[in-house]
Chain A
Amino acid sequence: MLPALLTMIGLAAAAGVAAAFAARRSERDRNRLVEEIDALLPQTQCGRCTFAGCRPYAAALANGAADINQCPPGGHATAAALASLLGREAKPVDPRFGNVSTRPMVAWIDEGACIGCVKCIQACPVDAIVGASKFMHTVIAAHCTGCELCIPPCPVDCIVMRPAPT
């Protein structure tokens, strides 16, 4: 009877050790998961998901501090991809974080009204606005991701969103 007990305990112990050893998540694994998630996000860096950009949102998703339906620019495609990637139930985008726009929009500065205060340039997460202090600013349409972060800081409200030129 004893050998049977011993073998089973031995095998079970080995299995336990192996499982525990494997369960440790190294630091490298965690940021590789962040990389995988970040690859799916639309990179608008708009902050509508209440995080400072796409990578912070990805990090939050990785350790479960955020949900998969907080990214309006990505729309339902990104929500579904995140659900599939992280093994969670697919959910539509939560309107609380903003509505899913069908047409890609880009910012446009009304040059006449721009006073060259450089506030929008500092606010733009992807350096899509060209200009210097006291010089006229303009948005590079090709680089603008439509995150609308430049609209609040503008003192003269000369920035509006327009459909992206095809």
Chain B
Amino acid sequence: MARPGVRGGLRLNAHTERSTEHPLRPASPVESLVLPLDQHAGAAAVPLVKPGDRVLHGQPIAEPGGGISAWLHSPASGTVAAIEPRPAPHRMGAPTLSIVVANDKRDERYGAASPPRFEELSPQQLRDTIGRGGVVGLGGAVFPTATKLAGAADASGLRLLLNGAECEPYISCDDMLMRERARDIVFGARVLLHALAAQTCVIAIEDDTPQPAAALSAAIAEAHDDRIQLRLVATIYPAGGEKQLIATVFGVEVPTGGLPADVSTVCLNVGTVAAVAQWIRDARPLTSRIVTVTGDGVREQRNLDVPLGTPMAALIYDCGGYTGRMSRLIMGGSMMGQALPHDDLPVIKATNCIIAASPLDLQQRGPEMPCIRCGNCSAVCPAVLLPQQLHWYTQARDLQALETHGLLDCIECGCCDYVCPSQIPLAERFRDMKPALLEKLTADANADAARARFDARTARLDRIERERDAALAKKRQELTKKS
């Protein structure tokens, strides 16, 4: 039995008025674009091009590596300047193998044959086609969409859930997307309904954003598709969390360690759906995305349609440059965003927002005090955990207790940090502790598997031994009978 709506959670100031004032506009072109090969979940992509090759806008430049991986396309026409390790934002600035494309600013499109109308393709073919468009989850997980669809395809009674509930403060890229490209989202929804052979699709959006809601309802009405409906959810952080949204909209809970497909649901970000639409309808692969540039540290706060690989410094310059009160550059929102060491880092598929945060935007943490077990954190935890107990057992490194208290169910949303009077960085502690617990669990699993294989092998050797003895005994019997 699921809990109605988000259990706990926080009512936060969205800080998106400034960034949604101006309409969407493309970012001004830049000299060179840096494309990390491992900017999606799973294995890194393998380059198809060599330094010096001439590439067109939208031409595939890297194919998926083994297992879960994604295609990569050139975001501009020009020449491949180099394939070398370059600092990347998702590695906290550490270098990772990247393709550098020198932009010749002629923007010549790669004329791939436009794919046939999606209705004629079988769901399986449609899923593969989506994969070739380099489409990955743009909500922040950057999980290859084709793989996610394939994983859920065999579930029965599938329901599609489009996540437009942008609950994290400062981020407004989905908001602007829904206002200006609602039609893309509805078209993408119909493509995905066909790709999953699903019958119902719910677009979930927070109830404090009227314009996107209006745009979407108009687009749905225009499409005359009664399978798609709009659903408003309460504006509580983290309503937009995949697990929380599924519980709010469908009233079921994703089982621990399981996937939404286990409750016959597929949850996709509206940005991903728009990317699917652009690829299937206009044969334009995922080469650019909408990025919110906001925070009191940048002069003009707005949303830009940015080609992948654009350096963040160029984006800030495009929005009028720093305002001098700049203190911290964050990729993502103020609750789960990643603080970046410098701004010479490329925009990647996961960059939904860049906050040029000034001391006004940040609330400095006070000195850390011991936990007084007040329970404020367990009251706001959307995963219904007891962060004060998790913190206690993390300090004591008691892996068994951490497992029973559900450390692996923590979605690292930071609500517990927010309300903690002792100012303890709980989310970070749990994030650091998870690998240790996972390591123990995999070690135990490997030991059990090794024991099973050892027992099977001993049984096999015994069986072979017995058969050989039996055969020997029979032969000896025949010999004695004959003689």
The CA-CA distance from A145 to B450 in the complex, in Å, is 7
Is B325 among interface residues, defined by CB-CB distance under 8 A?
no
Is A125 among interface residues, defined by CB-CB distance under 8 A?
yes
Residues of B within 8 A of A (CB): 443, 446-451, 453-454, 456-458
Assess the A127–B457 pair: CB atoms within 8 A: yes
Closest to A124 in B: B457
> Hey, which chain B residues are within 8 Å of A92, CB to CB?
none
Closest to A104 in B: B443
Which of B453, B454, B457 touches A54 (beta carbons < 8 Å)? B454
> How many residues of A are counted as interface, with CB atoms below 8 angstroms from the partner's CB atoms?
16
Assess the A126–B454 pair: CB atoms within 8 A: yes
> Hey, which chain A residues are within 8 Å of B450, CB to CB?
43-45, 126, 143, 145
> Hey, which chain B residues are within 8 Å of A42, CB to CB?
443, 447
Closest to A73 in B: B447
Determine how close the nearest CB of chain B comes to the CB of A102; give it in whole angstroms: 13
The CA-CA distance from A45 to B451 in the complex, in Å, is 8
Assess the B448–A43 pair: CB atoms within 8 A: yes
Closest to A53 in B: B454
Determine how close the nearest CB of chain B comes to the CB of A71; give it in whole angstroms: 12
Is A38 among interface residues, defined by CB-CB distance under 8 A?
yes
* Interface secondary structure of A, over-half rule: loop
> Hey, which chain B residues are within 8 Å of A125, CB to CB?
454, 457
The CA-CA distance from A131 to B450 in the complex, in Å, is 19
Can you spell out 17 A-B residue pairs with CB atoms less than 8 angstroms apart? A38-B451, A42-B447, A43-B447, A43-B448, A45-B450, A53-B458, A55-B454, A125-B457, A126-B450, A126-B454, A126-B457, A127-B453, A127-B457, A128-B453, A142-B446, A143-B453, A145-B446
Residues of A within 8 A of B (CB): 38, 41-45, 53-55, 125-128, 142-143, 145
Closest to A128 in B: B453
Closest to B456 in A: A127
> Hey, which chain B residues are within 8 Å of A43, CB to CB?
446-448, 450-451, 454
Assess the A143–B449 pair: CB atoms within 8 A: yes
How many A-B pairs fall under 8 Å by CB? 34
> Hey, which chain A residues are within 8 Å of B456, CB to CB?
127
> Hey, which chain B residues are within 8 Å of A54, CB to CB?
451, 454
Q: Lowest 3 CB-CB distances: which A-B pairs, in order?
A: A43-B450, A43-B447, A126-B453
List 8 other contacts, CB 8 Å, given A42-B447, A43-B448, A126-B454: A45-B454, A53-B458, A54-B451, A126-B453, A127-B453, A127-B457, A143-B450, A143-B453
Closest to A143 in B: B453
The CA-CA distance from A10 to B234 in the complex, in Å, is 78
Determine how close the nearest CB of chain A comes to the CB of B90; give it in whole angstroms: 18
Closest to B435 in A: A166
> Hey, which chain B residues are within 8 Å of A45, CB to CB?
450, 454
> Hey, which chain B residues are within 8 Å of A55, CB to CB?
454
> Hey, which chain A residues are within 8 Å of B453, CB to CB?
126-128, 143
The CA-CA distance from A85 to B451 in the complex, in Å, is 20
The CA-CA distance from A127 to B457 in the complex, in Å, is 7
Determine how close the nearest CB of chain B comes to the CB of A148; give it in whole angstroms: 14
> Hey, which chain A residues are within 8 Å of B457, CB to CB?
125-127
Determine how close the nearest CB of chain A comes to the CB of B455; give it in whole angstroms: 8
The CA-CA distance from A4 to B457 in the complex, in Å, is 65
> Hey, which chain A residues are within 8 Å of B449, CB to CB?
143
The CA-CA distance from A143 to B446 in the complex, in Å, is 8
Determine how close the nearest CB of chain B comes to the CB of A19; give it in whole angstroms: 36
The CA-CA distance from A43 to B445 in the complex, in Å, is 11
Determine how close the nearest CB of chain B comes to the CB of A108; give it in whole angstroms: 18
The CA-CA distance from A126 to B448 in the complex, in Å, is 11
Closest to B449 in A: A143
Determine how close the nearest CB of chain B comes to the CB of A105; give it in whole angstroms: 13
Determine how close the nearest CB of chain A comes to the CB of B264; give it in whole angstroms: 31
Determine how close the nearest CB of chain B comes to the CB of A98; give it in whole angstroms: 18
Determine how close the nearest CB of chain B comes to the CB of A127; give it in whole angstroms: 5
Determine how close the nearest CB of chain A comes to the CB of B400; give it in whole angstroms: 12
The CA-CA distance from A42 to B448 in the complex, in Å, is 9
> Hey, which chain B residues are within 8 Å of A53, CB to CB?
454, 458
> Hey, which chain B residues are within 8 Å of A41, CB to CB?
447
The CA-CA distance from A128 to B453 in the complex, in Å, is 9
Determine how close the nearest CB of chain B comes to the CB of A101; give it in whole angstroms: 14
